[in-house]
Structure 1
């Protein structure tokens, strides 16, 4: 299997609190990248992205573009409804695309658990995003109860199976990546061991290959309390192709250290 270029994505969730804090966080990210480049520690063969709040999406994008930063800006979520219309509070995939946003998260565990997003909603979101030309990070993961019951792999593979046929194979090949986020490790400080994470990533990859052999090269990211002190061990796993970073992405130094761990690891995925 050829090497898969890693992704490290910072999900800022509903942070930071003020526009000034957002601007400072973005500037710190720009400055830290510049410092690493100046020291010769280039972030090579790596895709970097951040997902700000909807309120700050375009201002972060503008700030990064003005600094000529390679960091991409992606949306945390997207409407299930296409185009424009009477959908108060929603932002459609077409509106995101028109604003120059090319990627979105879909299916994050917080959207599933706090907002009741089921397979029907997620299928509609995927279809809307793909039809508008967006790339998608599709999130899957099990709860602690499901893991302790020995159902982790079954649950995760079912989450993929529930949406697989809603878009065609070509879009899976070109516009999708998967993020495995064990729900019990998000925001809790707990992290799946590298062995557990690798085992699940291998199962996901095998499941994707079962759909079609070409999907064996799909990037699969790990999300679940990724920090600088565990990033290297996760990056060393053959089937982990990057990280979806939560709280640690709100500190630019920590985020870049995580990025460095995946940049340094040139394994064949």
Structure 2
């Protein structure tokens, strides 16, 4: 079971969405909601992961919100600093632009864009070295779950990075996000019991790697919406949510965050 001192995170992953006009409307709506009923950072930490070209703009727009809203990059380069790497954005450039958080290992990047274990290790090493806090994503496919190897797959994904993360970094710079691939964008959701069971196994695996394992936030992702947020939030080892489609609606995203803030 997780430590009671973990403050939950609710992070909206906008993926390759939305348009500039829609994102501006979202920030205005979300700020208005927070102005009416803010969420204390001690109860739940909020974050949004926009597309790369909107990171600085969204960050600026949310600076004066009634509750702090952190900005997360959706990915980071496996190359450091600056240089001749067309299309890449390094961890050093992210921090230079005031970004403090990054997603690494999302299943869509693993499955569609070739982010296999060595690539992820390179990205993670550079992100941590630059001082970024990493939301590291793990999860199994429907086929792997049906084969009965879901636990092994997820725990292996965590073991893949064990040599990269120094002990103090587990405590200060690591968040884990469990996303069953078969539940991402499908409308299907692991039951709260199934999600808690996997989170408990992840917690046990983390405790094998670091003494800080009891205090690392483990988020659930996979068709999280207002209708299931309260049940997920009630689970002992679910310390927040990585929200996809529902995060594109300011009111839905607030409802999910509010469920975890309770």
Note whether the superposition's TM-score is higher than 0.5: yes
Check whether the contact 1:43–1:260 (CA below 8 A) recurs between aligned residues.
no
Q: Which residue of 2 aligns with 1:3?
A: 5
CA distance in 1, matches of 2:64, 2:195: 37
Residues 1:69 and 1:214: Cα distance change in structure 2 (over 3 Å)? closer
CA distance in 1, matches of 2:33, 2:17: 20
SS of structure 2 residue aligned to 1:163: coil
RMSD: 1.2
Q: 1:31-73: per-residue Cα shift (whole Å, max 9, x none)?
A: 1111223xxx767511000000001110000001144641111
Greater mean alpha carbon deviation, residues 62-71 or residues 145-154: 62-71
Select 1:216's aligned residue among 214, 217, 225: 214
Q: Which residue of 2 aligns with 1:267?
A: none
Select 2:14's aligned residue among 12, 16, 23: 12
- Give the deviation of 1:2 after TM superposition: 3.3
Q: Does 1:252 align with 2:250?
A: yes
The 5-angstrom pairing of residues 92-171 of structure 1 reads: 92-171=90-169
CA distance in 1, matches of 2:67, 2:24: 14
- Give the deviation of 1:147 after TM superposition: 0.2
SS of structure 1 residue aligned to 2:140: coil
- Give the deviation of 1:29 after TM superposition: 1.2
Check whether the contact 1:36–1:42 (CA below 8 A) recurs between aligned residues.
no
- Give the deviation of 1:20 after TM superposition: 1.4
Structure 1 residue runs without a partner (length 5+): 265-269
CA distance in 2, matches of 1:116, 1:214: 31
Q: Which residue of 1 aligns with 2:22?
A: 21
Structure 2 residue runs without a partner (length 5+): none
Q: TM-score under structure 2 normalisation? A: 0.96
SS of structure 2 residue aligned to 1:74: strand
Q: Which residue of 1 aligns with 2:32?
A: 31
Check whether the contact 1:43–1:259 (CA below 8 A) recurs between aligned residues.
no
Check whether the contact 2:170–2:210 (CA below 8 A) recurs between aligned residues.
no
Greater mean alpha carbon deviation, residues 245-254 or residues 20-29: 20-29
CA distance in 1, matches of 2:66, 2:236: 32
- Stretches of 4+ moved more than 3 A in 1? 41-44, 66-69
The total of aligned residue pairs comes to: 260
Q: 1:105-150: per-residue Cα shift (whole Å, max 9, x none)?
A: 0000000000011100000000110111100000000000000000
